[in-house]
Amino acid sequence: MPKHNADIAGIFEEIADLLEIQGANPFRIRAYRNAARILGELPQEASRLLENGGDLTRLPGIGDDLAAKIKEIVTTGHCSLLDRLHTELPPAITDLLKIPGLGPKRVKALYHDLDVQTLEQLYRAARDGRIRTLPGFGEKTENNILQAIEVHANQTQRFKLAVAAQYADALERYLAVTPGVLKVTIAGSYRRMRETVGDLDILVTTSTSAAARQVVQHFVGYDEVADTLSAGTTRASIILKCGLQVDLRVVKEESYGAALHYLTGSKAHNIAIRVLAQKQGLKINEYGVFRNDTRIAGETEASVYAAVGLAYIPPELRENRGEIAIAKSGKLPQLIERKDLRGDLHVHTKATDGHHSLREMALAGLSQGFEYLAITEHSQRLTVAHGLDTARLLAQCEAIDALNEELQGITLLKSIEVDILEDGRLDLPDSALARLDLVVAAVHSNFNLSRAKQTERIVRAMQHPHFTLLAHPTGRLLQRREPYDVDMLRIIREARQRGCFLELNAHPERLDLLDTHCQLAKEEGVLISINSDAHSIYDFANLRFGIGQARRGWLEKHDVLNTRPLTELRSLINRTI
Ligand code: DGT
Ligand code: CA
Ligand code: CA
Task: Specify the CATH number for the domain of residue 232.
Answer: 3.30.460.10
What is the distance between the terminal CA atoms of the chain, rounded to a whole angstrom?
A: 58
Report how far ligand 2's centroid is from the alpha carbon of 188 (Å): 5
For residue 266, the ligand 1 atom closest to its alpha carbon is: 18
Residue 577: CB atoms within 10 A of its CB come to 8
pLDDT band of residue 464 (cuts 50, 70, 90) is very high
Report how far ligand 2's centroid is from the alpha carbon of 419 (Å): 38
**Ligand 1, CB cutoff 6 Å, lining residues:** 188-189, 194, 197-199, 201, 262-263, 265-267, 270-271
Please list, residue by residue across 200-231, b when 16 or more beta carbons sit within 10 angstroms of its beta carbon and e when fewer do. Answer: bbbbbbbeeeebbbbbbebbbebebeeeeeee
Q: In this structure, which amino acid lies at residue 85?
A: L
Could you say which of 153, 180, 196 is where a domain stops? 153
Q: Both 463 and 557 in a single domain?
A: yes
Mutate to test the pocket of ligand 1, among 203, 270, 283 (most ligand atoms within 8 A of CB): 270
| Residue nearest atom 8 of ligand 1, based on CA coordinates | 188
For residue 199, the ligand 1 atom closest to its alpha carbon is: 2
Ligand nearest to the CA of 272: 1
Could you say which of 132, 153, 174 is where a domain stops? 153
| Residue nearest atom 17 of ligand 1, based on CA coordinates | 265
For residue 269, the ligand 1 atom closest to its alpha carbon is: 29
Number of domains present in the structure of the chain: 3
Cα→Cα distances 341→11, 108, 202, 546, 563, Å: 34, 44, 30, 11, 5
Q: Both 142 and 172 in a single domain?
A: no
Could you say which of 284, 300, 329 is where a domain stops? 329
Q: Read off the pLDDT of each residue in 221-250 and give the average, rounded to a whole number.
A: 95
Asked if residues 99 and 119 have their Cβ atoms less than 8 Å apart, the reply is yes
Q: Both 479 and 559 in a single domain?
A: yes
Report how far ligand 3's centroid is from the alpha carbon of 246 (Å): 7
| Residue nearest atom 25 of ligand 1, based on CA coordinates | 267
Asked if residues 137 and 105 have their Cβ atoms less than 8 Å apart, the reply is no
Q: In this structure, which amino acid lies at residue 250?
A: V
Q: How many residues does the chain have?
A: 577
Q: Both 394 and 325 in a single domain?
A: no
Report how far ligand 3's centroid is from the alpha carbon of 138 (Å): 42
Residue 112: CB atoms within 10 A of its CB come to 13
Task: Specify the CATH number for the domain of residue 134.
Answer: 1.10.150.110
**273-283: pLDDT as tens digits:** 999 999 999 99
Ligand nearest to the CA of 262: 1
String of DSSP letters for 432-491: HHTTSS--EEE--S-TT--HHHHHHHHHHHHTSTT--EE-STT--BTTTBPPP---HHHH
Asked if residues 423 and 457 have their Cβ atoms less than 8 Å apart, the reply is yes
Q: Read off the pLDDT of each residue in 334-359 and give the average, rounded to a whole number.
A: 97
Q: Which helix (H) or strand (E) holds 504?
A: strand 501-505
| Residue nearest atom 30 of ligand 1, based on CA coordinates | 267
> Does the pLDDT at position 1 exceed 70?
no
Write out the residues surrounding ion ligand 2, Cβ under 5 A.
Answer: 188-189, 199, 201
Q: Both 170 and 203 in a single domain?
A: yes
CA 217 remoteness from chain centre = 33
Q: Both 184 and 295 in a single domain?
A: yes
Report how far ligand 2's centroid is from the alpha carbon of 201 (Å): 5
Contacts of 135 (CB under 8 A, 6+ apart): 109
Ligand nearest to the CA of 197: 1
| Residue nearest atom 27 of ligand 1, based on CA coordinates | 267
| Residue nearest atom 1 of ligand 1, based on CA coordinates | 198
Q: What is the pLDDT of residue 95?
A: 85
Report how far ligand 3's centroid is from the alpha carbon of 263 (Å): 8
Contacts of 134 (CB under 8 A, 6+ apart): 109, 110, 113, 114
Mutate to test the pocket of ligand 1, among 189, 273, 320 (most ligand atoms within 8 A of CB): 189
Report how far ligand 1's centroid is from the alpha carbon of 269 (Å): 10
- Torsion sign over Cα 477, 481, 486, 489: positive
Q: Both 499 and 366 in a single domain?
A: yes
DSSP summary character for residue 420: B
pLDDT band of residue 480 (cuts 50, 70, 90) is confident
Q: Both 12 and 31 in a single domain?
A: yes
Half-sphere exposure of residue 254, counting CA atoms within 13 Å on the CB side?
8
Question: How many angstroms separate the CA atoms of 41 and 9, rounded?
Answer: 10
For residue 274, the ligand 1 atom closest to its alpha carbon is: 29
% of residues, the chain, pLDDT over 70: 99
Q: What is the pLDDT of residue 576?
A: 54
**416-431: pLDDT as tens digits:** 999 999 999 999 999 9
Question: How many angstroms separate the CA atoms of 418 and 389, rounded?
Answer: 10
Report how far ligand 3's centroid is from the alpha carbon of 199 (Å): 5
Contacts of 474 (CB under 8 A, 6+ apart): 483, 484, 486, 488, 512, 513, 514, 517
Mutate to test the pocket of ligand 1, among 193, 201, 248, 276 (most ligand atoms within 8 A of CB): 201
Q: What is the mean pLDDT of the chain?
A: 94
Q: What is the pLDDT of residue 124?
A: 87
Q: Both 29 and 113 in a single domain?
A: yes
Question: How many angstroms separate the CA atoms of 515 and 323, rounded?
Answer: 14
Closest to 377 (Cα-Cα) out of 399, 401, 346, 407: 346
Task: Specify the CATH number for the domain of residue 360.
Answer: 3.20.20.140
Report how far ligand 3's centroid is from the alpha carbon of 320 (Å): 19
Contacts of 369 (CB under 8 A, 6+ apart): 339
Question: How many angstroms separate the CA atoms of 574 and 487, rounded?
Answer: 26
Cα→Cα distances 359→44, 57, 375, 493, 507, Å: 22, 21, 11, 37, 22
% of residues, the chain, pLDDT over 90: 82
Report how far ligand 1's centroid is from the alpha carbon of 309 (Å): 23
Ligand nearest to the CA of 230: 3
Report how far ligand 1's centroid is from the alpha carbon of 277 (Å): 19
Question: How many angstroms separate the CA atoms of 420 and 352, rounded?
Answer: 18
**497-518: pLDDT as tens digits:** 999 999 999 999 999 999 999 9
Mutate to test the pocket of ligand 1, among 200, 202, 267, 552 (most ligand atoms within 8 A of CB): 267
Q: Both 237 and 376 in a single domain?
A: no
**434-463: pLDDT as tens digits:** 999 999 999 999 999 999 999 999 999 999
Question: How many angstroms separate the CA atoms of 43 and 467, rounded?
Answer: 34
> Does the pLDDT at position 383 exceed 90?
no
For residue 188, the ligand 1 atom closest to its alpha carbon is: 8
Q: Both 419 and 551 in a single domain?
A: yes
Q: Both 322 and 343 in a single domain?
A: no
Asked if residues 272 and 318 have their Cβ atoms less than 8 Å apart, the reply is no
- Structure pTM? 0.81
Asked if residues 202 and 176 have their Cβ atoms less than 8 Å apart, the reply is no
Residue 108: domain span: 5-153
Taking the CA atoms of residue 388, residue 392, residue 395 and residue 396 in that order, the dihedral angle to the nearest 10 degrees is -20
For residue 271, the ligand 1 atom closest to its alpha carbon is: 29
Report how far ligand 3's centroid is from the alpha carbon of 476 (Å): 26
Cα three-residue angle 331-334-335, rounded to 5 degrees: 130
